[in-house]
Amino acid sequence: MTFRRDICAVLVVCAVALQASVTLAADPTKISTPVPRAKGETPYEQKYYSDPFYSEIDVVAEDNKLARDVIAFIELKVQDKPERINAAALWLRDNSIGQRDITKVNSLYFLTYSDFTLQLAQAYHKAKINDAWVSMLKTSIMALYIYEMMASMDAMRCADPTVLSAMREDTLIPRYGKFKEAYEILSKSDFDFFESEAYLAERKFEKRRPNEFICSLGAAKLADMLRQEGVQTFRAPNPASGRESMRVIPPEGYVFLPSFVDDTQWAKRREGMKKQLQKIWDDRYKRLSKGDVAAGDTRP
């Protein structure tokens, strides 16, 4: 993943984040919410729905349907003006957990919503606003659980069998390491709730489009790029894992079109993946809730 991360590493963002209303943290839209809430019913929403940046993101999303490009735009703009993080978080909430249009659903929005709410949670924690910190932390983990479920199912739709492991290494392993403290302070019932929301999301959005970005993370795209005339290669640290790996720059104009399995095969793979995820989540909770994290631990 090449999306920008750790926005809150910039000190000014942590201060700006405190402008966010606790309402977003304490009362997040849930997958299990039966009907959409009215827009602007809280002071926080009233303020940031009217923020020009919220509308600006809407325009970009309409003009460019690729979620990864919309996310890159959001992150670049927030880095440029950190006060935009509030409108960005609200937009990401509405287009992930709050999304009701199946044609616009993309697991990457859940991932980025998790990133942004974690930044806000860290700001609350730094300011010792503990209730808001814990509540926003729950929102962030819930969004990450939903992403893990949906992205894993997206990976099962790919013809390339290496996508699942690549997706985990690029997007999940670096993020779960940031939640070690959460596993120590939150209860098992909290994590059971996150799991239930993830299962609900997968059922609710199962008719979504294939995710071309997820299906481009594996070895098939790498092999295809290496076959292109004018391709460039070099070795550099992977920003996600920190380990050195080969980096490939394809020729200008290169486009990779991933292949997908048929719906029947995907349905069979989905059932197996649900069982795998249940075991992964149970094992992860048992390990991290006891503080069993060794230095350099890369287990998902």
Largest pairwise CA distance in the chain: 56
2, part of any domain: no
List of residues 6+ apart from 158 with CB closer than 8 A: 214, 215, 218, 258, 259, 260, 261
The pairs formed by 60-64 with CB atoms below 8 angstroms and a separation of 24 or more are 61/95, 61/104
pLDDT of 30-72, one tens digit each? 666 544 455 666 777 778 888 999 999 999 999 877 899 999 9
Q: Of all residues in the chain, what percent are helix, strand and coil, respectively (each to 5)?
A: 65, 5, 35
Q: What is the mean pLDDT of residues 280-285?
A: 92
Return the DSSP state at 81.
S
Packing angle of the helix pair 263-288, 130-156 (nearest 10 deg): 150
103, part of any domain: yes
Q: Cβ(117)–Cβ(143) under 8 Å?
A: yes
Q: What is the mean pLDDT of residues 5-13?
A: 36
145, part of any domain: yes
Mean pLDDT of the chain, nearest integer? 84
Q: Cβ(205)–Cβ(102) under 8 Å?
A: yes
pLDDT of 151-195, one tens digit each? 999 999 999 999 999 999 989 988 988 898 899 899 999 999 999
Q: Which pLDDT band, with edges at 50, 70 and 90, does 294 fall under? A: very low
Q: In the predicted model, is pLDDT for residue 142 greater than 70?
A: yes
Q: What is the mean pLDDT of residues 108-127?
A: 94
CA atoms lying within 13 Å on the CB side of residue 126: 16
Q: In the predicted model, is pLDDT for residue 274 greater than 50?
A: yes
Better pLDDT: 43 or 104: 104
Q: Percentage of the chain surpassing pLDDT 70?
A: 82
**Which amino acid appears at position 105 of this protein?**
V
Q: What is the pLDDT of residue 204?
A: 92
265, part of any domain: yes
Q: Cβ(16)–Cβ(85) under 8 Å?
A: yes
300, part of any domain: no
Full residue range of the structural domain in which residue 21 is found: 7-288
> Can you tell me the distance from the alpha carbon of 219 to that of 34, in angstroms, rounded to the nearest whole number?
40
Total count of domains within the chain: 1
Better pLDDT: 238 or 234: 234
Q: What is the pLDDT of residue 39?
A: 65
> Can you tell me the distance from the alpha carbon of 134 to that of 56, in angstroms, rounded to the nearest whole number?
30
293, part of any domain: no
> Can you tell me the distance from the alpha carbon of 149 to that of 198, in angstroms, rounded to the nearest whole number?
6
> Can you tell me the distance from the alpha carbon of 260 to that of 262, in angstroms, rounded to the nearest whole number?
7
Q: What is the pLDDT of residue 192?
A: 94
CA 50 remoteness from chain centre = 25
Q: What is the mean pLDDT of residues 16-25?
A: 41
pLDDT of 236-255, one tens digit each? 877 666 677 778 899 999 89
Tell me the CA distances in angstroms from 127 to 6, 17, 136, one per residue in order: 18, 10, 13
1, part of any domain: no
66, part of any domain: yes
Q: What is the pLDDT of residue 13?
A: 40
Q: Give phi and psi for 268, each to the nearest 5.
A: -65, -45
